[in-house]
Amino acid sequence: MKGMTIGRIAEEARVSRDTVRYYERLGLIEPLARTHSNYRLYSEEEIERLKFIKRAQNLGFSLSEIKKLLRLQENPNTTKAEIKAFTEAKIRDVKKKILELTRILQALEHLAHQCDGHGPIDECPILEALREDHCHPLEIEATQGGEK
């Protein structure tokens, strides 16, 4: 029976064995077969699939998005337009996250600016702002995006 063990494909793809097992549970990869001793055996293609998954993760795609990309890639009827639309949707998500993180950064900078770093902790304006029930800069910044 031909195939590579989990340790071998993990090493080749530069991921851990646990990662290989996790991706298998999620249906992202699939063993070729099992030995009589019940060891998983994988094909060369699974190494490339693991590398694809890692590259996609590095671009910010979630595992569920990667699963969709893999399905699209395997479907001979998928068009480049579909892949482009999928990618453009991810771009919109990334831009939205950047805006949210920019608002959080501005709120944190505002809070940090309010504190001179001297004196007792019970006079800390940062902690005071986080304890207050009424709107403070962090809440104002976070809700400007339309989310509460």
Q: Do residues 66 and 107 share a domain?
A: no
pLDDT for 147 equals 46
135: containing domain: 80-143
Residue 94 clears pLDDT 80, i.e. is over it: yes
pLDDT in tens, 54-63: 999 999 999 9
The length of the chain, given as a count of residues: 148
Residue 91 near residue 61 (C-beta atoms within 8 A): no
Q: Do residues 20 and 64 share a domain?
A: yes
pLDDT in tens, 102-135: 999 999 999 999 999 999 998 899 998 888 865 5
Q: Do residues 61 and 101 share a domain?
A: no
Q: Is residue 1 part of a domain?
A: no
In angstroms, rounded to a whole number, what is the distance separating the alpha carbons of residues 101 and 107? 10
